[in-house]
Each structure stands twice: as C-alpha cells, then as structure tokens.
Structure 1
Amino acid sequence: MSALLSGKVAVITGSSRGLGLSMAQRFAREGAAVVISSRGQQACQQAAEDLSRQGYAAAACACDVADPQQVEALADFAVRTFGRLDIWVNNAALSCAYGPTLAIDPREFERVTRTNILGTYYGSMTALRRFTAQGSGKLINLVGRGADRPAPFQNAYASSKIWVVWFTRALVEETRNRGVEVHLLNPGLMFTDLVGEVQAVEGFEDKLRPFETVLRMWGRPPELAAEKALWLASAATDGRTGQYINVLTPGVILSGLFREGLRRLFRRPQPGVDIHITTVPEFNGKQPH
C-alpha cells in the first residue's frame, strides 16, 4: 500500500517545533519530502537532521514569513532541493501578551500582524503562483482562537485569525477549477509552547488562571491536528477545495466537560497542566520612535 504523500514535497512554516514539527513528521512518514522552516536556522537544521536520521527526506531553510523575499527564497529552496513543490502549510504564528489592547505595545501588535497576516499572505501568494502555473497543489492555512468570535484581551492574535479565514475563503473562490485546493485547519487547543509559555500584562495574570482548566478539558497533543492536516494534504481532498477542519468539535467539547465533571464529582486530583506565565509591563501610551 503506497504512502499517502509519496513523491510530494511540502513546505511547512513554523515547523521547527510544536504543531508545525508534528505535521512535518507526519507528512514525512507518509512519503513526503519536507522543508522545515522557522526563523532560527539552527532549530530548523536540528529538526531536519532528526528526520533524516530516521530515513526521511527533509531539509532546513530559515525564513521570517514577514519578509516576502525570504518567503520566495523558501519556495525556491524547496524546488531546488527536491525538484518540485506540492504542499504549502502556513503555520507560523505569534501572539501578544494577554491583556487589553490599549495596554499592548503597538510594536508588539504590529509584530503579530506582520507574521500572522502578512506571513499568511506572502506564503499563500508564493505557493499559489507556483500551484496555478503547474495546475496542482495544496495550500493549508492555519487559524485558531478568534476565528469564530472576538477574543477580548487576545485581540492581536484573534483578529488576525478571522482575517485568515476570510482571506482564505476568498482564495478558494478565486482558484476554483484550476487544479488547486485551498483549505483551512483550526487545530484547537494543543499542548505546545504557544499555550504553555504565555505572557500577561501586569495586573492581568489572574485572569489567565482559568485557562489551566480549559486546557485540561480540551487540550490535545499536536499529533491529532497533524493527522487532520495530513488528510487535507492528501489525495482525499482532490477536487474538494475549501475544506475547513476544526479539531475542537462539539463532541470533543462535551467529552471534556464530562471528564472534568466526573473529576470534580469524585474529587479526583487535577491532572498536571504546566502553564508558565511571564508578566510584561503595561504600555505607557507613548508612541515608539
């Protein structure tokens, strides 16, 4: 039985750790040659070498997705290294400290916007130019909290994700019947560095404490979302552009609530959820130079 992605070449941004690395590992096990990419070359190289030692085809290319020239260079690297480009996953994302939008340094807000919005835009354009020219390809854009409703105190990240939703859905219509599939993946809550290492504006740390319960109920290992990404990248979605997969389904929500209810009813100990909160100062209102 042939591997699901045999002969395919995949670029995954933000893939030196967390969900991105889980997707790269899953794609590689199904026969894809994967390009590991994040801003740090050393971390990318380590992840690619680990896959190579396991017998998989992998290469590393550092890229800041907020820089369009680096994104183009990433695509060129994939083609130069593996001869083609079939799958592009815009996974790289950043978040601001938890707190009111007025309390966030504008430079931090802009940093998130450049990565989450412009990074998705540059990656999508770079991939789609190649995909539409060759008449095939899979583009997968990642969304998250904020994709379905506003998320107060997480405005930079959350508002960027609803932008990704509508941007991607427009691309679906613009590329329909051109042999290209464009998809959305919402991985839900995962046990990754993005949720395990969080910042809070001074005075708002306590508002994050209930998040430990939320993560305990609905947090999942990134491998589950990686499995959904594999399905989107595979031939299963040929001719089915516009798929939107949300890992946090109503069933998952209900089962999490049920488990937490039983735990409290029988007074079982809380499973350990490791969240480290770093406090950052409130923005003082002075515009940066």
Structure 2
Amino acid sequence: MDLSNVFSLENKVALITGASKGIGYCIAEVFAAAGAKVVISSRKQNVLDELASKLKCKGYEVFGIACNVGNIDELKGLVDKTVEKYGTIDILVNNAAANPVFGPIHETSLDAFDKIMNVNLKAPFELMKLCFPHLRKSSSAAVINISSIGGISPEADLGIYSVSKAALISMSKGFAKEWGEHKIRVNVICPGIIKTKFSEALWSNEKIMSRIMKRLPIKRIGNPDDIGVMALFLASKSASYTTGAVLTADGGFTI
C-alpha cells in the first residue's frame, strides 16, 4: 500500500477563516505544507499580507483576503475573490470565532449573544451555502468546522459560547447528512484548551488551570499544531469515508 501521498493536498484550494493567528494560522501553514493553495482570511488586510509573505518565503502558496465574518454581507465577496484568485474551492475551514464575555451566563447581554451567534454559527452557515456550488464540483470536497469541547458539555463562564459551539456541531451533522450525495464531507474538531490568545483567559488563570490539570490524562494544554494535523487528516483523502464526525483534541478532558 502506497502511503506516500495519503495526506497530500496537492492542487487543492483551501479557504480558512480566522486564520491570522492561533489555530487558524497553524491550519493554514499545515495545509500549505501539504501542497494546498491557501486563502487566509481575517479582518485586517495588512496583517494577512504580512503573514502570506512570511509563508511564501517558505515556498508555500498563500493569499490573504480580509473579511469580517460577523458582517454577513462580506462573505460573498470572500468567496468570489477566492474563486477569482484560484478558480475553485475544495476545502473550507470555519475557524473564526468570537467570545466577548467571560462570566455567568445570566449576565450575558443580548448584544453579546447576537455577536457570538453571528460569528460562531450564522457565518459558518452562510459561508457553507456560498461555497456549495464550488465544493460540489470538487473531486474531494471537505468542510471542517472548529467547535469546542464546550459544544459537547457547556463550560462554566462560557455559557453562550458553549451554546453556539453545540449548535455548530448539530448544524455540521445536518450538512453532512444532506451533502453526502454531493460528495462533500463535513466534520467537526472540538479543541480543548489550546495555548492561543483567544483562550488566554483560561490558561493564564492559575485557579482554572489547576482544576483542569486534575482532569487531564495528558498533563499539558494543547498547542495549535495539535489541531492543525487533525485538520489535515480530515481535509485529506485519508478521511475519505469520514463525515459527520466530531473529533476531540483535548488531552482526554472529555473522557
């Protein structure tokens, strides 16, 4: 059995949101290293241009397109510009997320609720629909939605964020069930605590980390590479019979 290209993304075009740092940037670098043409997206074009230039120096094909996914009207432009640049979309990674609050669920304002749902659920929903005409033309289309272990079991002080991530899991399964006939796979990754700026409120809190470490079979917090390589598996042909799956990368926290 030839395993030399089982994780290859050669000639594939990948669009990744929330890709200017942390998990999203790591996924972009891993995909590019596997041969994909990668579009990285976040809100600031100058940051994306710097990152794309950095990755191109490594011999990777990367292009930045600014988009605030919380503004639904900008999503069509993101898809159109990606197709204009590379002609198609084979892989979509919905990684962009928002959580403007950390505290009791009953203290979450309606404005915060709307922002969380717009970015974490509504944007992936709309972006998947916009990418559908292109994904269905691909010979190996894949969608990867980045949820959270909070989407499996709600986390304290992250109530509505957890709700949004639970809804993303359910929505992904719905898409997976209906899009199988179009040969589009849809899967979910649920990270545990990964050392990124986004989760700093957790890993920088000694009390929280002490409690978490007691539950972790693998006694460390995760790093973005742990998610990047899992995303590569789901994007590649090695996962050609995997759809509707919810994979955790959490050091065993949810066991």
- TM-score exceeds 0.5: yes
Q: Would the alpha carbon gap of residues 10 and 166 (structure 1) be closer, same or farther in structure 2, given more than 3 Å must change?
A: same
In the other structure, the counterpart of 1:210 is: 207
Aligned-residue sequence identity (percent) comes to 27
Equivalent position amino acid for 1:212 in 2: M
In the other structure, the counterpart of 1:175 is: 179
Q: Distance in 2 between matches of 1:218 and 1:108?
A: 31
In the other structure, the counterpart of 1:151 is: 155
Residue number among 227, 230, 247 corresponding to 1:228 in the alignment: 230
In the other structure, the counterpart of 1:81 is: 85
Q: Distance in 1 between matches of 2:44 and 2:111?
A: 21
Q: Is the 8 A contact 1:128 1:139 kept in 2?
A: no
Q: Distance in 2 between matches of 1:135 and 1:19?
A: 26
The root-mean-square deviation of aligned C-alpha atoms, in Å, is 2.2
Q: How many residues align?
A: 245
Asked if 1:20 corresponds to 2:24, the answer is yes
Shift of 1:114: 0.9
Between Structure 1 and Structure 2, whose CA radius of gyration is higher? 1
TM-score calculated relative to the size of structure 2: 0.88
Q: Is the 8 A contact 2:140 2:237 kept in 1?
A: no
Q: Would the alpha carbon gap of residues 85 and 114 (structure 1) be closer, same or farther in structure 2, given more than 3 Å must change?
A: same
Could you tell me which runs of 5 or more consecutive residues in structure 1 were left unpaired when the two chains were aligned. 199-207, 255-289
Shift of 1:64: 1.2
Which deviates further from its counterpart, 233-242 or 32-41?
Answer: 233-242
For residues 78-227 of structure 1, the aligned pairs below 5 Å read 78-134=82-138, 136-197=140-201, 209-213=206-210, 214=212, 217-227=219-229
User: Secondary structure of the residue that 1:12 maps to in structure 2?
Assistant: strand
Shift of 1:112: 1.3
Q: Would the alpha carbon gap of residues 62 and 234 (structure 1) be closer, same or farther in structure 2, given more than 3 Å must change?
A: same
Q: Distance in 2 between matches of 1:249 and 1:100?
A: 26
Which deviates further from its counterpart, 130-139 or 65-74?
Answer: 130-139
Q: Is the 8 A contact 1:20 1:91 kept in 2?
A: yes
Q: Distance in 1 between matches of 2:100 and 2:235?
A: 30
Q: Would the alpha carbon gap of residues 195 and 157 (structure 1) be closer, same or farther in structure 2, given more than 3 Å must change?
A: same
Residue number among 42, 47, 58 corresponding to 2:46 in the alignment: 42
Shift of 1:134: 4.7
Q: Is the 8 A contact 1:96 1:157 kept in 2?
A: no
Could you tell me which runs of 5 or more consecutive residues in structure 2 were left unpaired when the two chains were aligned. none
User: Secondary structure of the residue that 1:5 maps to in structure 2?
Assistant: coil
Which deviates further from its counterpart, 171-180 or 161-170?
Answer: 171-180
Shift of 1:132: 2.4
Q: Distance in 2 between matches of 1:30 and 1:226?
A: 11
Shift of 1:67: 2.6
TM-score calculated relative to the size of structure 1: 0.78
